[in-house]
Each structure stands twice: as C-alpha cells, then as structure tokens.
C-alpha cells in the first residue's frame, strides 16, 4: 500500500474512534526562519542556482537566431537577444555570462575550501578536548550516506585544485578576446583534474543513490510498524464496554495520547518520504549530466548541464525552506 494511502487509512480509523488529530506541522516563528535558512546548504544551492541560471543565459546567447515563429515561441530569450543586440554584442555577452557563471562557481569552490578547513579545525579541537571516543554502532544507511558525502567532497576537491592551479575552464575563457567566438576547447570541455573529478563524482552519486534507497526502505518499515502499533492500541479502545469507561478514563486518555503521537510520527515519516522522492529527482538530474559528461567529454552539453543543475538546486532550496518552516527532515 502506498504511504499516502496508509496515512489516509490511519486518519479514517482515528476519526471513527472519535480521536481529534493535532496539527502535524506547526509553523515555526518568523523571527528564526531566515537565520536558520542562511546555512551552508542554502548558500551552496543558492550559488549553484545563480551559476546555472547564468550558464543557461549564456547558452541562449550562443544559439542561432530563430528562423521561424515556432522557434521564437520556444526560445523567447534567444529571440529577444537576436533583435536587441548585434552579433558582436551577443558574442561579448555570451562570453561575459560564461565567465560570470564560472566566477560564481569559483566563489563556491573557495567557500567550500574554507568550509573544509573550518570543519577539520572543529573536529580536531573536539578530538583534543574529548580525547578518544568509543565508536557508536551506526546504521548501514548512515554509513553509506557518509561515504557518499566524503566521495562527493573528494570529487569537488579536483575542481578546486584545477581552479587553484590555473587549469580550469574559468582561466581558459578569461584569456580570450572580448568579442571572439568561443573555440571548441573552451566550450565546457573538462580536462585533467576536472575530468578526474567527473568520474569521482559519478561514484559518489552511486553511493548516494544506494543510501537513498536504504533510507526509503527504512522509512517504509517504520511506517508499517507504526500502523501495526496503532492498530494494537485501538483494539482495546474499540472493545471497551460502556460500564468500564468511567473506571478506565485515565487509562483511555493516556492511550488516546499515545495513538495521536503515533499518528503524528506517521505523518512526519510520510513527509520525509515525499522529500526523499524529490531528492531522488535531484540525484537523477545530477547523475544524468555526470554520466553524459563521462561518456561523451567532447560533446556540447551546456543546455543539459544548466537545465539539470538549475532543477536540482531549486528543488533543494525548496526542501531547505520546508525544513525551516516545519522542522528538520533528517535526510
């Protein structure tokens, strides 16, 4: 049975027993929303959204002028640029947008480098303060998720190294004349360290997909267990006779509260399952471009990179805003 059907069935059963359902997602105070939203994840995805938006406009600036009304309707940005700017200005605009896109990516890489240094400093300081700590028994999905995150950061480190050594796309595009056409070797061709990072990122996506599968399976088990416990709690309530209601009022009220808490937990797990599904869409978007980049490094795929990257960044920003409003999802 799908998760939303399970929750609907539980709501119907509780209503049949006359139990009032509490609000599962109370809104949080407005004063704390923006402060909590300004975290690293939001900054990271915000920079990614800006980067891929600039890259998308760069692609539109490079496209050929629309030759029919249908093309103009499908590509309104390209149509507007064609009839408002000359060819030389479109070339200069496309180059500027590409450099701006890579500049935002470099700001993100430098911020990522600072985050790594700060995290290592905090972990070292915590280790020296506490001393050796016994390892806790960690669930399998947590181990896989941490492994995927470590490999993903390793893939990012190759892009950072390419930027710091001057071999990245940003430096290649920066040295071109302002009105020259972008040659094929500049058009998003990843070489050297950047190409190694593509394959490492592909391995990280495989681990993250597996961790997502394990988490979804774990949530399904928790939902089934919650439904079973809820039914076990409701059976004594349904079988209680009217003569016993007076003497067992406190016990029944306690049982009612337990059932309502179980229902609230069930709704929370359904919310996690929904956002895990959206996170899977984000990972599929990342995996689509990364796979194409690994298999066809010499093909022009700027539109695919910009589209999939922008989709994933916007969806993750929406997830973070949902966490700020209704509480952490613990994904």
Q: Which residue has the higher pLDDT, 296 or 283?
A: 283
What would the mean pLDDT of 320-325 be, rounded to a whole number?
A: 84
**pLDDT tens track for 159-188:** 888 777 766 666 666 655 544 455 554 555
CA angle 161, 166, 168 (to 5 degrees): 70
Query: Can you give the pLDDT at residue 123?
Result: 78
In the predicted model, is pLDDT for residue 240 greater than 70? no
Q: What is the residue-averaged pLDDT of the chain?
A: 76
- Which of 38-47, 73-82, 311-320 is most confident? 311-320
Q: Three-class SS of residue 23?
A: coil
Burial 143-171 (b: 16+ CB within 10 A, else e): ebbebbeebbbebbbbbbbbbeeeebbbe
* Highest mean pLDDT (candidates 24-38, 165-179, 217-231, 240-254): 217-231
Mean pLDDT, residues 21-32 taken together: 54
Q: Flag whether 135 is in a domain.
A: no
> Is residue 2 domain-resident?
no
For residue 10, pLDDT over 80 is answered with no
Q: Does residue 22 lie in a domain region?
A: no
- The verdict on pTM exceeding 0.85 is no
How large a percentage of the chain has pLDDT more than 70? 72
Confidence of residue 52 (pLDDT cuts 50, 70, 90): very high
Closest to 198 in 3D by CA, of 99, 289, 299: 289
Range of the domain at 195: 31-130+140-237+251-326
- Length, in residues, of the chain: 331
Per mean pLDDT, which of 81-85, 112-116, 234-238 is the most reliable?
112-116
When mean pLDDT is compared across 39-48, 98-107, 244-253, 315-324, the lowest value belongs to 244-253
109 pLDDT tier (thresholds 50, 70, 90): confident
Domain for residue 21, yes or no? no
Q: Which pLDDT score is estimated for 278?
A: 92
Flag whether pLDDT at 29 surpasses 60: no
Mean pLDDT score, 245-273: 74
Please give the distance of CA 319 from its chain centroid, rounded to a whole number.
7
Cβ–Cβ < 8 Å for 110, 93:
no
Q: Is 205 a domain residue?
A: yes
Residue 168 is predicted with a pLDDT of 60
**In this structure, is residue 41 part of a structural domain?**
yes
32 or 317, which is more confident: 317
The larger pLDDT score, comparing residue 228 to residue 247, is at 228
The total number of structural domains in the chain stands at: 1
10 domain-assigned: no
Residue 13 lies inside a defined structural domain of this protein: no
């Amino acid at each position: 049975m799908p998760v939303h059907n399970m929750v609907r069935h539980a709501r119907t059963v509780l209503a049949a027993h006359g139990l009032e359902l509490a609000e599962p997602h109370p809104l949080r105070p407005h004063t704390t929303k923006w402060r909590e939203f300004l975290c690293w994840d939001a900054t990271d995805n915000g920079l990614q959204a800006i980067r891929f938006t600039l890259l998308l406009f760069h692609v539109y600036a490079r496209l050929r002028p629309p030759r029919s009304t249908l093309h103009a309707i499908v590509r309104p940005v390209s149509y507007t640029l064609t009839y408002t700017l000359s060819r030389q200005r479109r070339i200069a605009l496309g180059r500027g947008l590409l450099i701006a896109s890579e500049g935002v990516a470099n700001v993100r890489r430098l911020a990522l480098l600072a985050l790594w240094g700060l995290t290592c400093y905090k972990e070292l300081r915590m280790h020296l303060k506490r001393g050796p700590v016994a390892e806790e028994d960690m669930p399998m999905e947590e181990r896989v998720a941490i492994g995927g995150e470590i490999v993903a950061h390793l893939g990012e480190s190759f892009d950072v190294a390419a930027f710091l050594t001057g071999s990245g796309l940003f430096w290649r595009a920066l040295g071109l004349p302002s009105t020259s056409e972008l040659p094929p070797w500049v058009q998003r061709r990843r070489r050297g360290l950047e190409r190694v990072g593509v394959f490492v990122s592909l391995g990280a996506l495989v681990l993250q997909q597996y961790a997502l599968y394990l988490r979804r399976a774990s949530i399904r088990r928790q939902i089934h267990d919650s439904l079973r416990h809820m039914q076990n709690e409701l059976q004594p309530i349904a079988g209680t006779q009217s003569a016993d209601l007076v003497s067992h009022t406190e016990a029944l009220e306690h049982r009612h509260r337990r059932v309502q808490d179980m229902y609230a937990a069930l709704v929370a797990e359904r919310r996690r399952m929904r956002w895990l599904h959206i996170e899977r869409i984000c990972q599929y978007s990342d995996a689509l471009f990364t796979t194409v980049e690994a298999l066809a490094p010499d093909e022009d795929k700027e539109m695919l990179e910009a589209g999939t990257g922008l989709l994933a960044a916007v969806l993750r920003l929406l997830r973070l805003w949902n966490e700020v409003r209704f509480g952490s999802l613990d994904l």
